[in-house]
Amino acid sequence: MEEKLISTLTVERLEDIIREALRKFYGDNPGRLKIYKAGNRLNFSCPYCGDSKYERKKRGNFYLDTFTYKCYNGGCGIFKNLSEFTKDFGIQDMLSLEEIEEISEISRNSLQRKKIKNSIDYFFSENYKDVLIPRIFLKEKLGLQEIKGTYGEKWLIERNHIPDERFLWDPIRKSLYLLNLSGDNTMILGLQIRPIVKKSYSKYFTYKLSGIYKNLLKITDPKIILKTEEVDPISSVFGFSTVDLESMITIFEGPLDAWLFPNSIGLCSINNNFPFDVSNKRWFLDGDKTGRNKASELLQNGEEVFLWGKFLEENDLPEREKWDLNDIVNYLRSTGKKIKRLDNYFSSEKLDIIYV
């Protein structure tokens, strides 16, 4: 018996539609035309980015409860409803006008209900809860401590951060753990380790979900690792589970700056891509040579960036080799100086490159 979803649209018909899109992109490659049903989603190779070079790694997901498609391949991040999906591959005639209207209403109402704020629940539903790592488990397994009462708490307070569930402390290595948590703060998607007492060859060590399993927990079960790799593209995107995609999103290089700013994301690296296909985003990169060069590149591509030159000049702040948001907060608190709103210094105008 066919599983009916809405009107005359069934899972079988959905598979036919998706397979036609796959055929348009991949041709008749049998490995790429395979579609798997897993819980409330259909899983297959992404027909937008080409997915991985390995056919077994399928990062495209179509969600049956919302009629939306999402790719989790780093650098892709396509997010579409079924109507938009069929238009992109010239197969919209496979849907009736009635179905197109119903699909749009279902996906719109679903997004409105869930607001995407709890996107860990929206995007992953029940499908990845078995590989997300309980915070309490990691803490006990690695011998970590809650941040309160440690040197890490003092270090964070001095840098204007609230010592809370996002942090754990390694008392042996004197290192701070920065956690990329689920919306309810109980599950870990990824993390960064920052040594703050002993000198280290690296300022941060970043671990995606699969890296936590392999390198920290020493778990190498191929089935588990394969599933964690599906989460990897967003596991180093700090703020993924709480950011509101319908509001302006500010993108920082690291989580510590992002946690000082409303509705923001920390990418852990200036070279990492933002994983969502949205236009309402802007970049607040560090005010050093590397950050300004990257901001200039983004500005030339039509992206909205923070204009460090204009900000420093108009607020009479000194030039330095490096500024970031935490530096601004520290400087203002130590000097008592007042500045204009930071929102005034974002621009997507190419001529404003002189202010970057």
Confidence of residue 272 (pLDDT cuts 50, 70, 90): confident
Asked if 257 and 219 sit in the same domain, the reply is no
> Is a pLDDT exceeding 70 seen at residue 127?
no
315 lies in a domain?
yes
Q: Residue 119's pLDDT is what?
A: 47
| 63-72, 148-157, 230-239, 271-280: range with lowest mean pLDDT | 271-280
Mean pLDDT, the chain, integer: 86
Asked if 261 and 345 sit in the same domain, the reply is yes
Show Cβ contacts of residue 229 under 8 Å, excluding neighbours closer than 6 positions: 57, 209, 210
Q: Residue 291's pLDDT is what?
A: 94
CATH code, domain carrying 75: 3.90.580
Confidence of residue 137 (pLDDT cuts 50, 70, 90): very high
The residue range of the domain holding 31 is 4-114
> Is a pLDDT exceeding 70 seen at residue 176?
yes
Q: What is the SS3 assignment for 258-279?
A: HCCCCCEEECCCCCCCCCCCCC
243 lies in a domain?
no
Mean pLDDT of 328-352: 91
Residue 328 vs residue 120, higher pLDDT:
328
Structure confidence by residue, pLDDT tens digits, 73-120: 755 668 888 888 999 999 999 988 888 888 877 766 665 555 444 444
Give dist(CA 220, CA 211) in Å, integer. 10
306 lies in a domain?
yes
Asked if 167 and 257 sit in the same domain, the reply is no
Residues in the chain: 356
Q: Residue 129's pLDDT is what?
A: 80
127 lies in a domain?
no
Q: Residue 120's pLDDT is what?
A: 47
Mean pLDDT of 330-335: 90
Cβ–Cβ under 8 Å, residues 214 and 225:
yes
Q: What is the pTM of this model?
A: 0.68
128 lies in a domain?
no
> Is a pLDDT exceeding 90 seen at residue 306?
yes
Residue 77 vs residue 68, higher pLDDT:
68
Q: Using CA of residue 260, residue 77, residue 273, residue 137, what is the dihedral sign? A: positive
Asked if 20 and 90 sit in the same domain, the reply is yes
Beta-bridged to residue 190, according to DSSP, are 180
The candidate with the shortest Cα–Cα distance to 167, out of 135, 141, 142, 124, is: 135
13 lies in a domain?
yes
Asked if 254 and 348 sit in the same domain, the reply is yes
Q: Show which of 228, 261, 294 is a domain's final residue.
A: 228
Structure confidence by residue, pLDDT tens digits, 294-304: 999 999 999 99
Q: Residue 201's pLDDT is what?
A: 61
Give dist(CA 307, CA 211) in Å, integer. 35
54 lies in a domain?
yes
Asked if 33 and 104 sit in the same domain, the reply is yes
Give dist(CA 331, CA 75) in Å, integer. 35
Asked if 153 and 82 sit in the same domain, the reply is no
Q: Residue 109's pLDDT is what?
A: 67
Q: Residue 3's pLDDT is what?
A: 52
Cβ–Cβ under 8 Å, residues 139 and 170:
no
Give dist(CA 98, CA 283) in Å, integer. 40
Asked if 100 and 149 sit in the same domain, the reply is no
Asked if 260 and 289 sit in the same domain, the reply is yes
DSSP result, 44-112: E--TTT---SSTT---EEEETTTTEEEE-STTT--EEEHHHHHHHTT-GGGS-HHHHHHHHHHHHHHHH
Q: Residue 41's pLDDT is what?
A: 85
Structure confidence by residue, pLDDT tens digits, 20-36: 999 999 999 988 999 99
Q: Residue 115's pLDDT is what?
A: 46
CB count within 10 Å of CB 86 equals 22
Overall domain count for the chain: 3
Q: Show which of 228, 262, 296 is a domain's final residue.
A: 228
CATH code, domain carrying 348: 3.40.1360
Checking DSSP bridges between strand 41-44 and strand 175-181, what pairing results, if any?
Answer: unpaired
| 62-66, 300-304, 329-333: range with lowest mean pLDDT | 62-66
Q: Give, for 257, the enclosing helix (H) or strand (E).
A: helix 255-258
Q: Residue 317's pLDDT is what?
A: 94
Confidence of residue 16 (pLDDT cuts 50, 70, 90): very high
Asked if 70 and 143 sit in the same domain, the reply is no
Q: Residue 240's pLDDT is what?
A: 82
Asked if 297 and 201 sit in the same domain, the reply is no
> Is a pLDDT exceeding 70 seen at residue 196?
yes
197 lies in a domain?
yes
Confidence of residue 130 (pLDDT cuts 50, 70, 90): confident
Q: Show which of 62, 85, 114 is a domain's final residue.
A: 114
Q: Residue 54's pLDDT is what?
A: 72
Asked if 301 and 328 sit in the same domain, the reply is yes
Write phi, then psi, for 80 (nearest 5 degrees).
-140, 155
